[in-house]
């Protein structure tokens, strides 16, 4: 069993926001692999979908704890299913990467991402695999340092930004599949 966790905030007001890029890509991944609809699991305080890809069983999870407490859900699921940090893949937004880019990371710090930091704190390790989805703003090809990062990540994607995310989503879905199968 492998666990793929998309990070975001629950509720209609957060749909299509930059901070919910993890939720959006986990939704797309589930649909692309014919997983059932996500259902609320109160035990884990998460929306969960179970399925398999290439014979490997997967749990897709979207914590409903709000971003900064995502580690509570991840820890509870690892304990219940007797998984280790090597069995998880976390998909999340990253303001330090330009929009339209992504990176795969293992054993790296949270770089100030509170949801990732909470997972690190709850697991007692940063040695788990992540796909970081760039949401950062650029001007003339240079990443803009945002003082108002909190407000920026909670804003909805513009139409143009959504198109950029859509263009790279197929590539990211393949990376989710490859990364999760090889956990």
Residue 19: active-site member: yes
Q: Rounded to two decimals, what is the model's pTM?
A: 0.95
Q: pLDDT digit of tens for each residue in the chain (183 aa)?
A: 999 999 999 999 999 999 999 999 999 999 999 999 999 999 999 999 999 998 889 999 999 999 999 999 999 999 999 999 999 999 999 999 999 999 999 999 999 999 999 999 999 999 999 999 999 988 888 788 877 888 899 999 999 999 999 999 999 999 988 887 777
3 state DSSP class of 94: strand
| All domains of the chain in start order, with CATH | 2-181 (3.40.50.1470)
Question: Catalytic one among 19, 92, 150, 182?
Answer: 19
Q: Would you give the distance in Å from CA 113 to the centre of its chain?
A: 12
Partners of residue 57 on adjacent β-strands? 52
Cβ-proximal residues to 115 (8 Å cutoff; 6+ apart), any chain: 7, 67, 68, 70, 71, 92
Surface-to-core class of residue 150, CB atoms within 10 Å of its CB (0-12 exposed, 13-18 middle, 19+ buried): exposed
Q: Would you give the distance in Å from CA 85 to the centre of its chain?
A: 15
């Amino acid at each position: 069993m492998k666990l793929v966790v998309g990070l975001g905030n629950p509720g209609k007001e957060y749909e299509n926001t930059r901070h919910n890029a993890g939720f959006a890509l986990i939704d797309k991944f589930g649909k692309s692999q014919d997983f059932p609809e996500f259902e609320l699991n109160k035990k884990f305080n998460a929306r969960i979908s179970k399925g398999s890809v290439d014979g490997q069983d997967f749990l897709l999870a979207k914590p409903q704890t709000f971003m900064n407490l995502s580690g509570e859900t991840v820890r509870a699921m690892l304990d219940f299913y007797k998984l280790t940090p090597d069995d998880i893949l976390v998909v999340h937004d990253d303001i330090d990467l330009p929009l339209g880019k992504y990176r795969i990371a293992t054993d790296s710090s949270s770089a100030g991402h509170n949801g990732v930091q909470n997972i690190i704190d709850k697991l007692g390790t940063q040695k788990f695999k992540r796909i970081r989805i760039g949401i950062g703003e650029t001007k003339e090809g240079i990443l803009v340092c945002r003082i108002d990062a909190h407000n920026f990540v909670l804003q909805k994607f513009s139409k143009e930004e959504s198109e950029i995310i859509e263009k790279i989503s197929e590539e990211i879905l393949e990376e989710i599949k490859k990364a999760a199968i090889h956990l």
